[in-house]
């Protein structure tokens, strides 16, 4: 059985008509996301590529307890983004410039002023953002990124730039925090070196530069996912290249090229 995960292309109104290599765009489709189907061993973690030609909706996700209360499923969503490419002027909106209460948040969503109240960050390849549940956020036009997230599809839209899609104002306002995004949850990732990007509470994520150190290997016990950003890795003789994602059962089956930049991730149990 292949270690590489099955991919799924997802059409989005804000997607792109021409995917970058190594992806292939289905004819006549506007693709916004490439999903890697979670394996049974790591079913609570989802990895995807995202490509935006237009602004995504302003949205928010519940945490596990809120999702359980609302839907009966413990499927909250925390996520993180690594910018892989962007057009000039591309930006990400996360949190707000100043605190605002629930009533003001709802009014701003209704009249469209929520966009101006959000904190927007210009992006470049290598920028990294962690988005806790309850954080209002929006991905701007011209951004391409890798997203690692809890495996959840619960999204509450606050504002969608006039697109004819359903909004979820009451649900969103009930879970959203009208707060600035903590500065410690965003950073520029150095081009070289081994870096821990996330260590809990729900998953961990590291960027490797060639083979992993003993310290990283000690933290990643059991199965984990590998996502090559550049270069490739080999799992039991099978090559996994940029644009792919694969399941690793344990370190003995994995070999990483000396010049490869690899993301590895697993849930925190």
**Residues that are catalytic:** 157
Residues forming beta bridges with residue 118, ordered by sequence position: 96
Query: What contacts 224, CB < 8 A, 6 or more positions away?
Result: 42, 247, 248, 264, 265, 266
SS3 72: coil
Before 22, cis peptide (omega within 30)? yes
Q: Residues marked as binding for Zn(2+)? A: 61, 79, 137
Length of the chain: 269
* The pairing of beta strand 79-86 with beta strand 203-209: unpaired
Q: Facing residues of 83 across strands?
A: 145
State in Å, rounded, how far the first CA of the chain is from the last one: 26
Alpha helices in 59-160 (DSSP H): 64-71, 102-111, 114-117
Report cis status (omega within 30 of 0) of the bond before 249. Answer: no
Neighbouring CB atoms inside 10 A of 207's CB total 21
- Cα separation, 17 vs 85, in Å, equals 16
Q: In angstroms, rounded to a whole number, what is the distance separating the alpha carbons of residues 133 and 64? A: 9
What are the DSSP calls for 199-241, one per residue?
A: E-SSEEEEEEESSPPHHHHHH--S-EEEEEEESEEEETTEEEE
């Amino acid at each position: 059985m292949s270690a590489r995960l099955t991919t799924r292309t997802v059409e989005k109104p804000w997607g792109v008509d021409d995917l970058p290599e190594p992806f292939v765009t289905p004819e006549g489709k506007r693709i916004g996301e490439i999903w890697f189907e979670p394996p049974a061993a790591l079913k609570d973690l989802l990895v995807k590529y995202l490509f935006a030609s237009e602004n995504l909706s302003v949205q928010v996700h519940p945490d596990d307890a809120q999702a359980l209360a609302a839907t009966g499923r413990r499927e909250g969503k925390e996520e993180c983004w690594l910018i892989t490419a962007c057009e000039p002027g591309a930006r990400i909106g996360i949190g707000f410039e100043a605190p605002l209460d629930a009533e003001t948040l709802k009014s701003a969503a209704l009249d469209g002023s929520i966009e101006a109240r959000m904190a927007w960050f210009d992006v470049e390849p290598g920028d990294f953002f962690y988005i806790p549940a309850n954080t209002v956020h929006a991905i701007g036009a011209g951004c391409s990124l890798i997203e690692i997230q809890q495996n959840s599809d619960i999204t509450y839209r606050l504002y969608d730039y006039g697109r004819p899609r359903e909004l979820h104002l009451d649900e969103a306002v009930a879970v959203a925090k009208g707060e600035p995004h903590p500065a410690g949850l965003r950073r520029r990732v150095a081009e070289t070196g081994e870096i821990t990007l996330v260590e809990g509470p729900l998953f961990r994520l590291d960027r490797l530069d060639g083979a992993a150190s003993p310290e990283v290997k000690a933290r990643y016990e059991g199965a984990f996912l590998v996502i090559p950003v550049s270069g490739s890795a080999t799992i039991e003789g099978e090559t996994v290249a940029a644009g792919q994602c694969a399941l690793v059962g344990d370190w003995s089956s994995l070999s990483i090229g000396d010049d490869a930049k690899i993301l590895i991730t697993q849930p925190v149990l």
